[in-house]
Chain A
Amino acid sequence: NAGVTQTPKFRVLKTGQSMTLLCAQDMNHEYMYWYRQDPGMGLRLIHYSVGEGTTAKGEVPDGYNVSRLKKQNFLLGLESAAPSQTSVYFCASSFGVSVGRLRELFFGEGSRLTVL
């Protein structure tokens, strides 16, 4: 019953440091997403992937990179962290386009990142 698992759950970085958030799903989902949640802003899409080896930019991609080397994993990287990247990050996954399983996103528990 793991579903979508994010690691780490909490992290504090200094400006300029790098880090990677790992998202793993065990539901054999094709699509995976990274969102960030900021107060009063809702959830905004950073990057997404429609399958192993493919990634695409979302609404707020600057300052982030992603990789999907394995179908079950989706990594979000910050090469040089900035205070503006202080946020709660959510990973999500969903089935590919198939009738009856349309677009419901399954979310991880979130990762709280603070950049000092």
Chain B
Amino acid sequence: AQKVTQAQTEISVVEKEDVTLDCVYETRDTTYYLFWYKQPPSGELVFLIRRNSFDEQNEISGRYSWNFQKSTSSFNFTITASQVVDSAVYFCALSEASAGGGADGLTFGKGTHLIIQP
């Protein structure tokens, strides 16, 4: 069965610090997809990134970067030079290719509450 673990329940840093959110996943599939979503205080869920299991290249988008390592089953998310607007709950999620063709949605971790203090 698929599982996503976000061990950090809450992280608090001072603005401009770098911060890394950890995500460890479990799956028996060789083909799977990993996601990060952001949930700001307003409550909506914002898609950040999708990565498939065949693409281990790290990705950078502005201050955001993602480190995918199949060897350790991790998909970590780093925010560089954090800002107060980054304060949110961040969810890591997994979808297995064999799971009904992905029809049964995503399995989410429990989320990491990131607090950026001014």
- Chain A residues packing against B (C-beta within 8 Å): 31, 33, 35, 40-45, 48, 50, 56, 58, 88, 90, 92, 94, 96-97, 102-107, 109-110
**Contact partner, A42, options B33, B91, B100, Cβ 8 Å:** B91
A103 CB to closest chain B CB, in angstroms? Answer: 4
9 A-B residue pairs with Cβ-Cβ distance under 8 Å, sorted by A, are A40-B9, A56-B104, A92-B45, A94-B102, A94-B105, A97-B103, A102-B102, A103-B95, A105-B106
Q: Per-residue 0/1 for B28-70: is the Cβ within 8 Å of any A Cβ (1 yes, 0 no)? A: 0000010101000001110100101000000000000000000
Within 8 A of A (CB), among B1-46: 9, 33, 35, 37, 43-45
Closest chain B residue to A44 by CB distance? Answer: B108
Q: A40-B110, A42-B91 are in contact. Are A103 and B43 (CB under 8 A)?
A: no
**Contact partner, B105, options A41, A42, A92, A96, Cβ 8 Å:** A92
Q: Say whether A50 contacts B103, CB under 8 Å.
A: yes
CA of A58 to CA of B104, assembled, Å: 7
Q: Say whether B108 contacts A48, CB under 8 Å.
A: no
Q: Say whether A104 contacts B47, CB under 8 Å.
A: yes
- Chain B residues packing against A (C-beta within 8 Å): 9, 33, 35, 37, 43-45, 47, 50, 52, 91, 95, 100-111
User: Which chain A residues border B95 with CB–CB below 8 Å?
Assistant: 102-103
User: Which chain A residues border B107 with CB–CB below 8 Å?
Assistant: 45
User: Which chain B residues border A44 with CB–CB below 8 Å?
Assistant: 108
CA of A92 to CA of B109, assembled, Å: 17
